[in-house]
Structure 1
Amino acid sequence: MSRTIRGLLVAGLLAAAAPSAGAAELAARVDNESEPVLCAEKDNVSLTFTNPQVRHFRIRAVHPAYLGMLDTDRWAADWTSCDMSGDPVHVAEPRRVTFYETPDLWLVGYTYPSFWRPNDVPVRVGDRVEHGLHLIQVWVRHRERAEEVLVLYPPDGYWRARPIPPGDTRWTAYGSSFLVGPVKNEGRPIVALKEVVFDPATRTFTLAFADGGEGKVRLAALDDEHIVLDVSFSGDMPRDRPFAALRSMYVMETNADTARVAWRTPGARGWGEAPVMTFPGAEALELWTGRVMPSRHNTSAPDMIFGNFSDMPLLPDRRDAPPREATSAPLAQ
């Protein structure tokens, strides 16, 4: 690996979280179930996280180390070599609805003309309940403009996150997806949800899992470097399943939403590194996945970091305090 590429990877790793003080670190078993494909619009990268003791962990999305070098961003879909004709289709009446709104935070829901799973998960904010949504967007006000920073697909439990665009950058792409909760395979990995509840005061999503147990995903910090999500579980979740998964796409190094993996294991003096398609799996205290060279697919999409696995509640990381300009209402700790 060239010194330039290694330097970019190290820069990405420096954005990773240190363990929260007072919380015992646990290792999660990370299994690589990725498969090679030619279609850039198929999530063929699959990394699952398993440890029945884990009840709390943290997810970060951070800008790629090369973001400041970009002259051109690309985010258009690439349907080359793609055949989606065999995918299930569930037809619905399309609509768009804003179902929670303040000057600093609002939620927008979409129902698409069709989706691969039924859209029967109720979404509640206060006394208002929406049915039939395929997508929930979380928007915030930043520097007097609207920024979409987090999305959830209730029918299959997929999430995407992105930080505030830095400086004068108007927009950055979404990239890798992730799952939170008991993961199972129904043609592709999913988390089956029974209900989604959002609490604006704490910026927390509460997820009732169809297969048992409950999860909370809290927007803990947000700025133009990263977005931080604190995840906690309660109740009787299935203990033999992964509690989280990363889903992404890789066709080749220059056509990928994630291309490399780095991980930290108990007692290790340094990070392990591998291309995502040959990553052997690991017992990881922390895992980073992203890119060290620009891709033609979702070029500005963030790197993803999973860590702070614990059976105890997480304490706020001192680096997670949001800047005043991120929103006029402070993010609750």
Structure 2
Amino acid sequence: MLSRPIDRRRLLVAASGLALTKSAFAEAPHEAEDDLQVRIENKSAPELCAEKDNIELDFVSPRVRAMRVQAIHPSYIGMIGSDRWAPDWTSCDLSHDPKFAADARRLTFWETPEFWLVGYTFPSFWRPNDVPIRVGDRVEKGFHLVQLWMLYRERAEEILVFYPPDGYWRARPLPFEDMRWTAYGSSFLIGPVETQERPIVALQSVIFDPQTRSFTLSFKRGGEARLRIASIDQDRIVLDVSYSDAMPDNLPFASLRSMYTTQSMSDAALVAWRAKRGNGWQESPVIGFRGAPATEIWVGRHMPSRHNLSAPDMVFGRFRAAATTASGK
């Protein structure tokens, strides 16, 4: 008699403590009474270079102490036959960008059979790389990029990445159905967003807790935030964020950064949002979006793009005055 094959997916769930079922992270069918309305400010500008982040949506509220960020496969993901992710440097001039030299290296901070955290230092970057990263008793600094990887279907999947020098994050779900890979697209910032040549969050330090799969961010302007992976599957990744205090000087507590030249060459082309006790969603092209008060906002694409075709849409919501648990309670 043949033995029953091992369900690797169940082993990963047990080992990681991450919920991999839709019911674990499905959004509430109606607006919760304690959802806060925040101000969305659009500072986007037209741009010809497809590799420059010209989309900037800032989130502002002195009351917010928690929110949820989701990266969700685009609506057309099931129709992709051949993916596109190669950069397009047409109309780009990066010759004036600042460059800080460094010695290239790679380091694994922590690993288990199911998850691992890896840091990279590039030969150069546009900002100095002096943010310390702590995992347990180990403290390292000098990294431009830190990746969180997950073993899924016997393959390594990069699910989350952040850039310590400027505070940028990117997230993506597990590959859809039988796809072997999907692209990153829009980035987001967590913490007091300020402009130093471009929008950044100045980090004092980052601590990763392997037990909770969470990152604690200390900011140079004061205060902390905690970003935790609440769940992940082949549809979306859900990140719960909590803040220790209001942002100084009424700075944005988060920002979405992306690129748009045309609808067919974009990582984000449309915005949809809903207001407190609103009767429905409102929609706008991202460049023409005038900003709005919102309890939830979606930024993404309905039309397939020649740039990062499989990159996820982004959803920001569940803005609360107090931190929420993974179940939303």
Q: Do the structures match in fold with TM over 0.5?
A: yes
Aligned to 1:277, the other structure's residue is in SS state coil
**Across the two proteins, how many residue pairs are aligned to each other?**
305
Quote the residue 1:160 is aligned against: 170
1:40 match: secondary structure: coil
Q: TM-score, normalised by structure 1?
A: 0.89
Counterpart check, 1:266 vs 2:302: no
2:39 alignment partner, SS class: strand
**SS of equivalent residue, structure 1 residue 207:** strand
Tell me which stretches of 4 or more aligned residues in structure 1 moved more than 6 Å. Answer: 19-23
Other-structure match for 2:157: 147
Checking the alignment, whether the CA contact within 8 Å between 2:75 and 2:302 is kept in structure 1 is: yes
TM-score when scaled to structure 2?
0.90
Measured after TM superposition, the shift of residue 237 of structure 1 is 3.6
Q: Does 1:85 align with 2:95?
A: yes
Question: How far apart, CA to CA, are the structure 2 residues paired with 1:73 and 1:311?
Answer: 40
Of stretches 47-56 and 21-30 in structure 1, the one that deviates more from structure 2 is 21-30
Unmatched 5+ stretches in structure 1:
1-14, 319-332
Which deviations, in whole Å up to 9, do the C-alpha atoms of 1:1-21 show, x marking residues without a partner? xxxxxxxxxxxxxx9833899
Aligned 8 A contact 1:16 1:288 in 2 = no
2:115 aligned with 1:105: yes
- The verdict on how the C-alpha distance between 1:194 and 1:51 changes in structure 2, with shifts beyond 3 A counting, is same
CA drift at 1:24: 1.0
Aligned counterparts of 2:297 and 2:122: Cα–Cα separation in 1: 34
RMSD (CA atoms): 1.7
Identify unmatched segments of 5+ residues in structure 2: 1-24
Percent of aligned pairs with the same amino acid = 60
Q: Pick which of 262-271 and 295-304 moved more.
A: 262-271
The answer (yes or no) to whether the contact 1:260–1:276 under 8 Å persists in 2 is yes
Out of 169, 175, 178, the position equivalent to 2:185 is: 175
Question: Partner of 1:68: helix, strand, or coil?
Answer: helix
Which of the numbers 296, 315, 326 marks the counterpart of 1:305?
315
**Alpha carbons of 1:241 and 1:211: their partners in 2 closer, same or farther (altered >3 Å)?**
same
What is the match of residue 328 of structure 1?
A: none
Return the letter of the residue paired with 1:294: P
Deviations 1:35-74 (A, max 9, x none): 1010000000000000010000000000000000111110
Question: Could you tell me whether the CA contact under 8 Å between 1:54 and 1:309 is conserved in 2?
Answer: yes
Amino acid aligned to 1:180: I
The answer to whether the Cα contact below 8 Å between 1:62 and 1:162 also exists between their aligned partners in 2 is yes
Task: Give SS of 2:178's match.
Answer: coil
CA distance in 2, matches of 1:313, 1:202: 15
Q: Encode CA deviations 1:179-198: one digit per residue, 9 max, x unaligned.
A: 00000001110000000000
